[in-house]
Structure 1
Amino acid sequence: MRKALALLALLLLAFAGSYLLWPLQVEQPVQSVSIGGPFRLASAKGGVVDSDGLKGKPYGVFFGYTHCPDVCPTTLYDMSNALDTLGDEAKDFRLFFITVDPERDTAQVMKDYVSNFDPRIDGLIPTKDELTRILQAFHAVFEKVPDGQGGYTMNHTATVYLMGRDGTLQSTLTFGENPDTRIAKLKRLLAGG
């Protein structure tokens, strides 16, 4: 009988302890993370692109480089097709292809490269300091990787950031995303972003 009372007291103590600690286990609100931010970068088409001048218009941001063997040209090709499909519906939309390799991607190199894609795609060339700041603002990354032959390639975030009319992140497009999903996300952005 004593063992039963001791077990019951132990169970009551455990229950009381968990009841008292329960408020500490209540789900805390998730803090939002701001993605994106102001930028002012040299354009391959001449002049600069200042994000302040984009207010009221949705736009996209994609980080990459012109020597990229697959992700960058595929993404820009897919976006060109999507913009072509959307036609006038996306007439004010712009996609900014921001190089993570400003060492090789000069304004002329970027201009020649983006000329292969939809004219709403503009190449932006940051300085090293500007690149560091904008990558931090977008929570994007890159890494210079030696290729073993004296050159290098770049690992980089392969996401298109879709920014709303107010300059805040509305959605993303992933590499190889289903074309119908891509169009639906762009339509949603253009309708209300």
Structure 2
Amino acid sequence: MRLTKLQSGLWGAVVLALLGVAALRLLDQGAPVTDQAAFRPEFALADADGQTRTNAEFAGKHLLVFFGFTNCPDVCPTTLSEVAQVMDDLGEDASRVQPIFISVDPERDRRLGIAAFTQAFHPSILGLAGDDVATRAAADSFKIFYERESDPNAPDGYTMSHSPALYLVGPEGDWLRQFSYGTPASEILADLQSRL
């Protein structure tokens, strides 16, 4: 009788282990979404001059898209610096790539001067700051997260929490992949060069 209980327990553990392995494989299969053209992100947002810019006008170019805000203390400046290095290192191929910075804090960023902010990193980076509805639509289209958070130590008493990745969109509008925060410019450059 004892042996049967022990055997049942062992078989139960084996079944649980197999289910765990199967679940991990399923999760693992879902993880490389970063390398699949899973969807076509869209945006329609105002530039610094108030002109609405859409993803459609950049057809034929690769887009490097980053969501952030001008008061960001670390993630945004670091990523935009990497993008600037990529644009410099692309040389003549730089004309085939459009870097875009989309503000998740559009009202404040328009007031602070989004164009001056992006131009400080590289003249080719286009800063966009739409209204709240258009910003939310763009973020949802790219499947990114952002929200305002109270912070008494931050300018105006708040900061913005947001997804920190850099997104690559292909010349036909397909989302190609994302580069996680901290990806060196050399890796982004190598990926882009393999596609141009």
TM-score, reference length from structure 2: 0.76
> CA distance change for structure 1 residues 184 and 126 in 2, over 3 Å: closer, same or farther?
same
Q: Classify the secondary structure of the residue corresponding to 2:107.
A: coil
Q: Unaligned regions of 5+ residues in structure 1, if any?
A: 1-24
Q: Distance in 1 between the 2:65 and 2:177 partners? A: 11
In the TM superposition, what is the alpha-carbon distance from 1:46 to its structure 2 partner? 5.3
Answering whether residue 159 of structure 2 is matched by residue 153 of structure 1, we say: yes
Match of 2:52 in 1: 48
What is the letter of the counterpart of residue 96 of structure 1? I
Alignment equivalent of 2:85, drawn from 81, 86, 101: 81
2:172 paired with 1:166:
yes
What is the CA–CA distance in structure 2 between the aligned matches of 1:41 and 1:152, rounded to whole Å?
23
Match of 2:188 among 170, 179, 182: 182
Contact 1:162 1:172 (C-alpha < 8 Å) held by counterparts: yes
Which 5+ residue runs of structure 2 have no aligned equivalent?
1-21
Give the conservation status (yes or no) of the 8 Å contact 1:75–1:175.
yes
Range that drifts further, 46-55 or 91-100: 46-55
Aligned partner of 2:76 among 57, 66, 72: 72
- C-alpha change, 1:82 and 1:69, in structure 2 (3 Å) is same
- In structure 2, the CA distance between the partners of 1:33 and 1:184, relative to structure 1 (3 Å rule), is closer
- Tell me which moved more, 163-172 or 180-189: 180-189
1:6 alignment counterpart: none
Match of 2:61 in 1: 57
1:36: Cα distance to partner?
4.1
Verify the 8 A CA contact 2:62 2:98 in the aligned structure 1.
yes
Partner of 2:17: none
Deviation at 1:156, TM superposition (A): 0.5
Q: Spell out, residue by residue over 1:2-37, the C-alpha distance to the aligned partner (whole angstroms, 9 max, x if none).
A: xxxxxxxxxxxxxxxxxxxxxxx9x99979884442
AA of the residue aligned to 2:143: H
**Which secondary structure state, in structure 2, belongs to the residue aligned with residue 186 of structure 1?**
helix
Could you tell me which residue of structure 1 aligns to residue 144 of structure 2?
Answer: 140
The 8 Å contact of residues 99 and 124 in structure 1, kept in 2 or not, is answered as yes
Considering only CA atoms, is the larger Rg found in Structure 1 or Structure 2? Answer: 1
8 Å CA contact retained: 2:43, 2:138: yes
The residue that corresponds to 1:4 in the other structure is: none
Identity across aligned pairs (percent)?
A: 32
User: TM-score of the superposition, structure 1-length normalised?
Assistant: 0.77
Task: Report the counterpart of residue 120 of structure 2 in structure 1.
Answer: 116
Contact in 2 for aligned 1:39/1:50 (Cα 8 Å): yes
Moved over 6 A (4+): 27-33
Post-superposition Cα deviations, 1:80-134, rounded to whole Å, max 9, x if no partner, equal 0111011111223111100000120116610111110211101001211111111
Q: Distance in 2 between matches of 1:108 and 1:46?
A: 14
How many Å separate the matches in 1 of 2:37 and 2:95? 30
Corresponding residue SS for 2:105: coil
Number of residues paired by the alignment?
A: 170
CA distance 1:81–1:33, shift in 2 (3 Å): closer
